[in-house]
Amino acid sequence: MRNLRLVLWVAVAVAAMIGGALLWRQSNAPLLKPVPTQVSFGGPFTLIDSGGQPFASSKLAGKPYAIFFGFTHCPDVCPTTLARLVKLRRQLGNEGAFQIVFVTVDPERDGPKEVGNYADLFGSPIIGLTGSGSQIAQVKKDYGIFSEKVGTGDDYTIDHTATVLLFDGDQKFQSTIAPDETDETAIAKLKKLT
């Protein structure tokens, strides 16, 4: 009996959460949609690279790139996503197939050194970028990225869009890779970039 009641209460809680999530999504318009048909993301930016130098997005031109927004204190989803991109790039057979760009949504804690150390962890070239608070806010807006600090003090975490955005060599937005998409789908999208 106790188990049945527990199950029912869990069902009620799940229903409430789904309802809440739907309402929340409706009230927060600029979220990245999984199927971008008319919408577009991107645009020129200047951020700061791991050497502390300005990095203009024009440097990425000529070769496709996958751009992912995260933060270096993110222990699970961010390294999982970057590791996956590195793996997919190897599966495509060459390290030069596309560039991987990591932009922090946590410029408070992630300076050039932090994003550089983080990008270097994966044993394959990743461009780590940070910027001032306003530079990051602007690029997030242009790229349809949501992020929100959770918690206080030094141990805060950040909820953020975990979708990877794909651009072709002409810096045109092409498609996205969601964390729950299969590798086959992701590879097909990456192949289309070139």
Partner 1 sequence: MLRPATFAIALTLAACSAPGPKISTRDAWARETGSADSAAAYVTIENKGGADELVGAKASIGEAMIHESSMDGGVMRMRPVANGEGLSVPSNGKLMLGPGGTHVMIMGLKGPLKAGDHFNLTLLFAKARPHKVDVTVKPAGAK
Site track for partner 1 across 68-107, x = CB under 8 A? ----xxxxxx-xx-xx--xx--------------------
User: Per CB under 8 A, which of residues 4..33 are in contact with partner 1?
Assistant: 21, 24-25, 31-33
**Most distant CA pair in the chain, distance:** 64
User: 176: how many CB neighbours lie within 10 A of its CB?
Assistant: 21
Minimal distance, residue 57 CB to partner 1, in Å: 22
d(CA 117, CA 137): 22
Can you tell me which of 62, 159, 185, 188 binds partner 1, judged by CB under 8 A?
A: 159
**Apex 135 CA angle, 121 and 186, nearest 5:** 50
Nearer to partner 1, 135 or 161 (CB): 161
Nearer to partner 1, 55 or 102 (CB): 102
Q: What is the DSSP string of 15-54?
A: HHHHHHHHHHHHH-TTPPPSS-SS-------EEEETTS-E
Contact segment (CB under 8 A) with partner 1 among 92-100, 122-130, 135-143, 182-190 equals: 122-130
Contact between 62 and partner 1 per CB under 8 A: no
Contact between 117 and partner 1 per CB under 8 A: yes
Q: How many residues bind partner 1 (CB under 8 A)?
A: 41
Q: What is the residue type of 163?
A: T
d(CA 171, CA 186): 19
Q: What are phi and psi of 49, to 5 degrees?
A: -85, 180
Interface with partner 1 by CB under 8 A: which residues? 21, 24-25, 31-34, 72-77, 79-80, 82-83, 86-87, 109, 113-114, 117-118, 120-124, 146, 150, 155, 157, 159-163, 178-180
